[in-house]
Structure 1
Amino acid sequence: MDAAVDTFWRHGYESTGLTELTEVMGISRPALYRAFGDKAQLFRAALERYIDRNMGYVEAALARPTAREVAEAFLTGNAEAVTTPGRPPGCLSVQAMVTHEADAFSLLAENRKVIQGRLAARFRQAISDGDLPPDEDPDDLARFMITLTTGFAIRAADGEPRHALVALARRALTVFPAPDPASRDRHARSHFERHET
């Protein structure tokens, strides 16, 4: 399956033929049909494998203690993922955007939507914790993150090196909202009082 992922990743859905897929996977065409049904179903399975294999940085980022650290880990993690040595540059998700296979496109859109929703929920919690200003829009911040990482994937596919993408991630963080000190102090006092009583 990893061989199928890398082949679709390098060439895109339309340009990847069944002969090439069976060769890199080391199986016969009848075996491919028995296991996956057809090329479209194999592609969907490859996308699911890609998400599991290449997007661990998302979980690591969401576990960071502050909103800014979440954003930094998410952006730099993505910049590193789309420039991993030994793998095709860019992102299978971006390659697959040109596919006419509607279900596969829908799977990618749903994955981006889920990640964006999880980022928004994390930023919403940061507002509640006083880690972000109360007038911040967590949905806009999450959308900003997803849009940046989509751009990173395109730039990586164009040949942009890792250090340049990481530098872009750092630059993007200069516009990330700073914590609200007053709100954070109120939250800290409230937390202390709850534990004292």
Structure 2
Amino acid sequence: GGITTGVVSALRRGTLWDRSAMTVALAGVSLPIYFTGLLSLAIFSYSLKWVNVDYKGFADDPAMWFESLILPWITLAFLYAAMYARLTRATMLEIMGEDYIRTARAKGLRERVVIGRHAMRSTWTPVLTLLGLDLGALLGGAVLTETTYNLPGLGRLAVNAITEKDLPVILGVTLIAAIFIVVANLVVDLLYAVIDPRVRLG
């Protein structure tokens, strides 16, 4: 969602869509995630009563488990979609002014081919870099989101362990988070070679 929004905003620079989307994206990256979470709780759970946020384990009640995670997912998705929308737009605008894009257009290629085959491929490199960092952080534990929605997760477990000076738990959570981050960055490095052949090793 965020990547698509960024691409469309770059292609429609200065239009109402671009200004509206970037205003929402600016709000997404500016508002603290706990504020977004509390606002979502107040509107969708307490006022409108659309979703129930009382957490239940998957084994106890799969439907309730899924429903209790809807707002946390939306809260995190809003933040990261806003970040990727802004990054993608900025990268796309820079790439569309490059010489090889002008050359592709001068050769008579259709605009869809120029954007899809040439511009988008270059846009993915910085997006993947940020994705690797964010994926590792997400898997390692989203502390503020877990605390806001009272969810049992790695982030809260780590905070509680630090508070209680539980060294074995601290080491375990740190190890798991480190493994997630290493694996996420390894996957990103492998995807670099798929997207950009120039980074492949001989």
For normalisation by structure 2, the TM-score amounts to: 0.30
For normalisation by structure 1, the TM-score amounts to: 0.30
Higher relative contact order (CA 8 A, sep 6+): 1
